[in-house]
C-alpha cells in the first residue's frame, strides 16, 4: 500500500524584494543568491524546492544558518507567504486560502513548537496548554481535560498550576509541546525546538519526542542545524544549502551515499555508530534449528556450516534460545535430551532499530551472539562481533570511496 502524501511542496520559492521575477530569472540562469542580492537587492530565501512529506513520518529539514530551512517551514502554514509555487496539505492548496480559511485551516491541521518557548508568563502551565482550544471557543471543561491529558503525555502531570517561571528550560519546552498536541493537529511543525536547551536536556527531549511519536503517530516536520539531531530524529532528511535542497534521503543514505561534495563534507565527521542499527549489522539468513529437531540434527547443522552454535526457534520463528556446539555434543551423548532443555534460553536480544552504539557493550560482554527480534520475539537476524566489525568497515569504504 502506498504511503499517503500529507504535504506536497511543488516548485516553491521565497524571494524577498519588490522584483521577484527578476531574481527568479537570474536563478534559472545559474546566478548565485549572493550575486542576485548584490545586483538586484532581491534576497533569495528558498528556491525551486519540491518534495513530499508522508503521513506519520518525521521529516527533518536541516542546513546551516541561511540555508532557508526556517523560511521553508513557515511557508507550509503561510506564516511567510510563498512567492511562487504551491503547498498542498492533505489535499488542500494552502496558497489559495483566504485569511479566514487559512486561520481555520491552521487551527485544524498544524501545531507549532518554536525554539523560544513562547509561553504566557502570567498564565499557569495548564492555561498555557489549553490556549489553542480557548481561541477555538471550546468549552472550559473539555479544554481543561484535553490540556491535562497532554501534560500527562509529556510527563508534566501535576505541574498544571505552576507559572512558567518555576520551570526549567526542558520543562518549558515540554509545555510548548503539550500546547501543540492539545489541539490534536495532523501535523507538528518544530522549528529548532530543542536548540536553546543544554545538551543533556536536549537529548532527553529528543528521546521524549521519539517516544511520543510512537504513541500519537503525528506527521512531523522538524527543523535543525545539528546533524546528529537530524540523524537521530529523522525518518528522512532534507538537506538544504543556499535556499535549495541538495539531497533527500534516509539518515543512512545521507551518510553513506552523499549526493554532492558539500554533503560529503557535511557528514564526514559523523559517528557512524549513531546511524547504523542492529538491522544494518545483523546476519539475516542464519541457519537455525527448531524444537522438533534433536541435538543430533543441530550438531549436523553446526558442523556442516562451520558454526559455533545455532539459534533455536519455534516453527513461527519465535526465539527459544541459543545452542552452542559444546551443548549439542553433550545432548547427543544423552539420547533423551530435548533441544529446549539443553540450549541457553537467556539470549541477549535487541530490536532491529537498536542503535549500534547501544549494542557495543552487549557485544563485548556476551560470549554468545545477539539475537535481533521483533516485538513478537520472532528472530530477524543474528549479530556476531565479526559482523559488527565487517559492517563498520563496509560503511567506511562507502563513505570515503571517491
Q: pLDDT tens-digit profile of 168-198?
A: 878 888 888 888 888 788 898 888 877 777 7
Which domains, from first to last, does the chain contain?
Answer: 5-270 (3.40.50.300), 279-393 (3.10.580.10)
Min mean pLDDT across 164-178, 243-257, 299-313, 321-335 is at 164-178
Q: What percent of the chain has pLDDT over 90?
A: 29
- The pLDDT assigned to 400 comes to 43
**Taking 90 as the threshold, does the pLDDT of residue 379 lie above it?**
yes
Instruction: Identify which has the larger pLDDT, 193 or 42.
Output: 42
Cα 291 to the center of its chain, rounded Å:
38
d(CA 303, CA 191) in angstroms, rounded, equals: 57
What are the Cα distances from residue 258, in Å, to 60, 82, 172?
A: 16, 29, 37
Min mean pLDDT across 130-139, 293-302, 385-394 is at 385-394
Q: Which residue has the cell 511519536?
A: 213
Write the CB contacts of 211 (distance below 8 Å, at least 6 apart in sequence).
Answer: none
Nearest to 190 by CA among 201, 200, 179, 204: 179
Contact 273, 356 (CB under 8 A): yes
Largest CA distance in the chain: 89
Nearest to 244 by CA among 11, 86, 60: 11
Query: What crossing angle do the helices spanning 140-153 and 169-182 adopt, rounded to 10°?
Result: 130
Indicate the pLDDT class of residue 351, thresholds 50, 70 and 90.
very high
- The pLDDT assigned to 15 comes to 94
Residues 222-250 have a mean pLDDT of: 90
Min mean pLDDT across 25-34, 166-175, 306-315 is at 166-175
Taken in order 316, 320, 323, 327, is the CA torsion positive or negative? negative
Contact 295, 332 (CB under 8 A): yes
Nearest to 228 by CA among 208, 254, 189: 254
Burial of 175 (0-12, 13-18, 19+ CB in 10 A): buried
**Taking 50 as the threshold, does the pLDDT of residue 230 lie above it?**
yes
d(CA 193, CA 53) in angstroms, rounded, equals: 19
d(CA 352, CA 264) in angstroms, rounded, equals: 27
Contact 275, 251 (CB under 8 A): yes
Contact 274, 97 (CB under 8 A): no
Q: Which residues of 209-225 are buried (b: 16+ CB within 10 A; e: fewer)?
A: beebbeeeebbbbbbbe
Q: Quote the mean pLDDT of the chain.
A: 85
- The pLDDT assigned to 401 comes to 46
Q: Which residue has the cell 568497515?
A: 393
- The pLDDT assigned to 394 comes to 54
- The pLDDT assigned to 336 comes to 58
Indicate the pLDDT class of residue 26, thresholds 50, 70 and 90.
very high
Indicate the pLDDT class of residue 271, thresholds 50, 70 and 90.
low
The DSSP 8-state label assigned to residue 75 in this structure reads: H
Contact 128, 175 (CB under 8 A): yes
Instruction: Identify which has the larger pLDDT, 359 or 13.
Output: 13
Contact 17, 23 (CB under 8 A): yes
Q: pTM of the predicted model, to two decimals?
A: 0.69
DSSP letter string, 245-272: EEEEE-HHHHHHS-SSHHHHHHHTT--G
**Taking 60 as the threshold, does the pLDDT of residue 391 lie above it?**
no
Amino acid at each position: 500500500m502506498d504511503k499517503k502524501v500529507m504535504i506536497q511542496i511543488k516548485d516553491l520559492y521565497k524571494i524577498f524584494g519588490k522584483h521577484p521575477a527578476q531574481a527568479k530569472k537570474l536563478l534559472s540562469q545559474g546566478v548565485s543568491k549572493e550575486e542576485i542580492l548584490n545586483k538586484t537587492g532581491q534576497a533569495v530565501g528558498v528556491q525551486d524546492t519540491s518534495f513530499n512529506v508522508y503521513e506519520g513520518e518525521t521529516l527533518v529539514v536541516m542546513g546551516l544558518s541561511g540555508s532557508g530551512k526556517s523560511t521553508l517551514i513557515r511557508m507550509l502554514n503561510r506564516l511567510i507567504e510563498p512567492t511562487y509555487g504551491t503547498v498542498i496539505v492533505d489535499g488542500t492548496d494552502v496558497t489559495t486560502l483566504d485569511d479566514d480559511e487559512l486561520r481555520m485551516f491552521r487551527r485544524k491541521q498544524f501545531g507549532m513548537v518554536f525554539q523560544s518557548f513562547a509561553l504566557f508568563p502570567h498564565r499557569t502551565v495548564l492555561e498555557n496548554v489549553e490556549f489553542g482550544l480557548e481561541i477555538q471557543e471550546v468549552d472550559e471543561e473539555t479544554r481543561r481535560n484535553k490540556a491535562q491529558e497532554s501534560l500527562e503525555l509529556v510527563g508534566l502531570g501535576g505541574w498544571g498550576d505552576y507559572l512558567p517561571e518555576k520551570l526549567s528550560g526542558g520543562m518549558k519546552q515540554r509545555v510548548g509541546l503539550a500546547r501543540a498536541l492539545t489541539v490534536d493537529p495532523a501535523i507538528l511543525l518544530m522549528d529548532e525546538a530543542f536548540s536553546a536547551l543544554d545538551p543533556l536536556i536536549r537529548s532527553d527531549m529528543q528521546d521524549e519526542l521519539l517516544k511520543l511519536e510512537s504513541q500519537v503517530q503525528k506527521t512531523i516536520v522538524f527543523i535543525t542545524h545539528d546533524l546528529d539531531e537530524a540523524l537521530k530524529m529523522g525518518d528522512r532528511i532534507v538537506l538544504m544549502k543556499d535556499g535549495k535542497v541538495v539531497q533527500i534521503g534516509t539518515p543512512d543514505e545521507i551518510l553513506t551515499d552523499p549526493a554532492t561534495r558539500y554533503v560529503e563534507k557535511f557528514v564526514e565527521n559523523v559517528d557512524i555508530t549513531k546511524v547504523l542499527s542492529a538491522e544494518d549489522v545483523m546476519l539475516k539468513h542464519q541457519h537455525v534449528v527448531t524444537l522438533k529437531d534433536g541435538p543430533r540434527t543441530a550438531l549436523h547443522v553446526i558442523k556442516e556450516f562451520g558454526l559455533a552454535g545455532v539459534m533455536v526457534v519455534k516453527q513461527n520463528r519465535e526465539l527459544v534460545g541459543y545452542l552452542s556446539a559444546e551443548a549439542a555434543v553433550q545432548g547427543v551423548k544423552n539420547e533423551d535430551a530435548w533441544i529446549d532443555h539443553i540450549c541457553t534460553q537467556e539470549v541477549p536480544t535487541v530490536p532491529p532499530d537498536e542503535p549500534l552504539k547501544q549494542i557495543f557493550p552487549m557485544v563485548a560482554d556476551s560470549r554468545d551472539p545477539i539475537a535481533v527480534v521483533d516485538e513478537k520475539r520472532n528472530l530477524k537476524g543474528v549479530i556476531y562481533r565479526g559482523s559488527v566489525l565487517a559492517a563498520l568497515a563496509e560503511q567506511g569504504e562507502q563513505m570515503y570511496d571517491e
